[in-house]
Amino acid sequence: MDAKRQKVEKLLSEKRDIDIQINKLQQDCKHEKQVIKQVADESSFTVRYVCESCSRVLGWPNAEELKQFLS
C-alpha cells in the first residue's frame, strides 16, 4: 500500500470510531431541549427539529412552526 492509501485508511478508521462515539452520546442524551434548524440532507438543506445538546435530528416541524422559523 502506498502512503496516501494508508493515510486514507487511517482517517476512515478514525472517522468510523468518531461516528460510533457520537452515536453513543446521542443515544444516551435525553433530548431535553429541541430547536428548529437547517440541517444538511444529502445534497441540500432541510428544516428539522434538532436536540440542542447533542445535535441529533429528531423530527419535522409542522407547517405553522416552519412558517414561524422562515419568517
Alpha helices in 1-71 (DSSP H): 3-28, 63-70
Instruction: Return the CA Rg of the chain.
Output: 17
Phi, psi (5° rounding) for residue 62?
Answer: -80, 175
CA distance 31 to 65: 19
Query: pLDDT averaged over the chain?
Result: 95
- Residue 1 above 70 pLDDT? no
Helix (H, G, I), strand (E, B) or coil at 57: strand
Tens of pLDDT along 22-49? 999 999 999 999 999 999 988 899 999 9
Query: Domain ranges in the chain?
Result: 3-70
